[in-house]
A = this chain, B = another copy of it.
Amino acid sequence: MEYVYAALLLHAAGKEITEENLKAILEAAGVSPDEARIKALVAALEGVNIDEVIEKAAMPVAAPVAVAA
């Protein structure tokens, strides 16, 4: 999760989530960053509306899932 926390830290700080920025943070945290994971994270987050997704986490989701019993 280190990589994700680093990304959210950047997001919360209003900075862009780039490979360099992630790397800098991870190094400051004493983690030797794995290029592939960094790249993968940046790629995966493309198109994700982080604010919205975080908000969802804070909201009780109660929509009924229709299930065959």
* A: interface residue count bin: 35 or more
Q: Are B44 and A37 in contact (CB under 8 A)?
A: yes
* Complex alpha-carbon distance, A41 and B39, angstroms: 11
Which residue of B8, B36, B57, B66 is within 8 Å of A64 (Cβ)? B66
Give A33 Cβ to nearest chain B Cβ, in Å. Answer: 10
Q: Are A8 and B5 in contact (CB under 8 A)?
A: yes
* Complex alpha-carbon distance, A54 and B69, angstroms: 12
Which of chain A's residues 4-29 have a Cβ closer than 8 Å to chain B? 5-6, 8-10, 12-13, 15, 21, 24-29
Please report A residues at the B interface, Cβ cutoff 8 Å: 1-2, 5-6, 8-10, 12-13, 15, 21, 24-31, 34-41, 43-44, 56-69
